[in-house]
Amino acid sequence: MNLSARKRVIVIGAGITGLAAAHRMRELAGDVDVTVLEAGPRAGGVLETVRRDGYLIEHSADNFITNVPWAIDLCRRIGLGDELISTSTEQRGALVVHRGKIERVPAGFMLMAPARLWPMLTTPLLSPLGKLRLLAEWFIPRRKSAGDETLAAFARRRLGREVFENIVQPLVGGIYTADPEKLSLAATLPRFLEMERKHGSLIRAARAAENPPTQGAESGVRYGLFYTLRDGLTSLVERLVEKLPPGSLRLNAPVQSLRRDVTNAWQVTLASGELLAADAVIVAVGAPQAARLIGDVDETAAKLLGQIEYAGTSIVSLVYRRSEITRPLDAFGFVVPAVEKRRILAGSFSSLKFAGRAPEDQVLVRVFIGGALQRELAELPDDELRRIATEELRDLIGARGEPLLVDIARWPASMPQYHLGHTALVAAIEAAAARHRGLALGGSAYHGVGIPHCIHSGEQAAERMLAALRTT
């Protein structure tokens, strides 16, 4: 795409959304001058891979799903196709804590849809009454109201209280670190809403989707859909930075304000006082930061952005010798229901999921603490986080002795909470932003929190800005 005159675009934020936006801009229009401004000392946002003492530790997400194409397509376009690796074919499955012990999530149960009934009828996670209530889901009528519904209300209405508390809540909590009593089903897992609308029953819908049923023992999520990069997800960040022209990325460059001048050009003022001019601006930061930046441009949009709440988490990574873990490691990790009243959200056996994360005779375990339901725990000092993680792993998987390594990553207020009405709220935010030519918003606050959705958000923002520049 050629523009009649060289245009300048500023991307605020060098997380995966901002980097994807900048790359897409250059990919489609090499004659556009793109500058990426990052407040911190490194690019990547929450994506951070640490290589330490022979271990590969992800400080936040350690994979991305491929049932949407945006992440895997980007990796292939920038030359990382050969570096993509899938989860190990062994130990696939999920575990859940129940009455202080770890049990397997029934095979064929995918977040909220039981595709296979026999594992549900034989699981120790449900009482006889809980199993009968689950079977009754076949006959529960569709919801007639078209209004938004919380994920918790939907799951209880269709599957019953026990299935929600013992299986659905911990599985969903492990994804969104959220309170399902507030979480919008339409904004987070709309496919289950569509399953009810189309089939009238989640059981009927799941069985129709698995026809013939799979014979494997996967549970909780379809692990074959998850990929990562051989050398960690920072590889994606590093490659995107390499693709930018030299000098395009400016680190330690926090933005103080954003406004338009009398000629309708954008003015970006850095905290240092430096003033930059641009024909278009992509704001690829969290909703609170975006609200602060565009307050002088659109007060309504800023107030709406301020309504998006966030939760934080801390991730404690620990390495143990396999011989010091007494419970069989026959899954990729476990989740913890809120009703268990424990101090952790989940544990992920990272070195079992992906090769090259730890030596064969050792296990790298990532423990998640905090989230919307236990905010105060994520803020504890490092020694307290370490104590909680080691005590919980000792109790749940029999991890004995001192860990060979402990690494702690903190992500305060990093996960947007898609509360009831989120879809309508985002529509109002985007409508307000669309009134300003040359302004786009992108990131995890809007249409999805995973890596693919963030990439898609950034690329869409870039495409919208290029279309706006072409018509200017």
Task: At 282, list the tokens.
Answer: 């992509």
pLDDT at residue number 360 = 93
Distances 277 to 266, 270, 308 between C-alpha atoms, Å: 6, 11, 29
pLDDT at residue number 223 = 64
- The tens digit of pLDDT for each residue in 229-260 reads 999 999 999 999 999 999 999 999 999 999 99
Which helix (DSSP H) or strand (DSSP E) does residue 287 occupy?
A: helix 287-293
Confidence band (pLDDT; 50, 70, 90) for 323?
Answer: very high
- The tens digit of pLDDT for each residue in 210-226 reads 654 444 444 445 667 89
Portion of the chain with pLDDT greater than 90, in percent: 88
pLDDT at residue number 472 = 64
pLDDT at residue number 92 = 80
Strands 346-349 and 333-335 turn out to be antiparallel
Which helix (DSSP H) or strand (DSSP E) does residue 320 occupy?
A: strand 310-321
When the pLDDT of each residue in the chain is averaged and rounded to a whole number, the result is: 94
Query: Where along the chain do its domains lie?
Result: 8-46+232-308+419-470, 63-91+310-416, 106-219
The Cα–Cα gap between 207 and 287 comes to: 39
What's the mean pLDDT in 46-66?
96
pLDDT at residue number 3 = 54
Top CATH class of 8-46+232-308+419-470 equals alpha beta
pLDDT at residue number 216 = 44
Cα 207–Cα 212–Cα 218 angle in degrees, nearest 5: 75
Top CATH class of 63-91+310-416 equals alpha beta
- The tens digit of pLDDT for each residue in 363-376 reads 999 999 999 999 99
The Cα–Cα gap between 223 and 111 comes to: 12
pLDDT at residue number 212 = 46
- The tens digit of pLDDT for each residue in 2-42 reads 555 789 999 999 999 999 999 999 999 989 999 999 999 99
Confidence band (pLDDT; 50, 70, 90) for 91?
Answer: confident
Cis peptide before 212 (omega within 30 of 0): yes
Confidence band (pLDDT; 50, 70, 90) for 389?
Answer: very high
What's the mean pLDDT in 409-434?
97
Name which residue leads in pLDDT, 278 or 145: 278
pLDDT at residue number 214 = 46
Report the topology of domain 106-219: protoporphyrinogen ix oxidase, domain 3 (1.10.3110)
Q: What single string gives the DSSP state of each residue in 381-437?
A: -HHHHHHHHHHHHHHHH-B-S--SEEEEEEEEEEEE--BTTHHHHHHHHHHHHTTST
Nearest Cα neighbor of 65 from 184, 261, 228 is 228
* Domain pair 63-91+310-416 / 106-219, same fold: no
pLDDT at residue number 6 = 85
Confidence band (pLDDT; 50, 70, 90) for 173?
Answer: confident
pLDDT at residue number 146 = 83
Portion of the chain with pLDDT greater than 70, in percent: 96
Lowest mean pLDDT among 1-10, 155-164, 388-397: 1-10
Q: Please, which residues have CB within 8 angstroms of residue 299's CB and are 6 or more apart in sequence? A: none
pTM equals 0.94
Cα 394–Cα 396–Cα 401 angle in degrees, nearest 5: 15
pLDDT at residue number 215 = 42
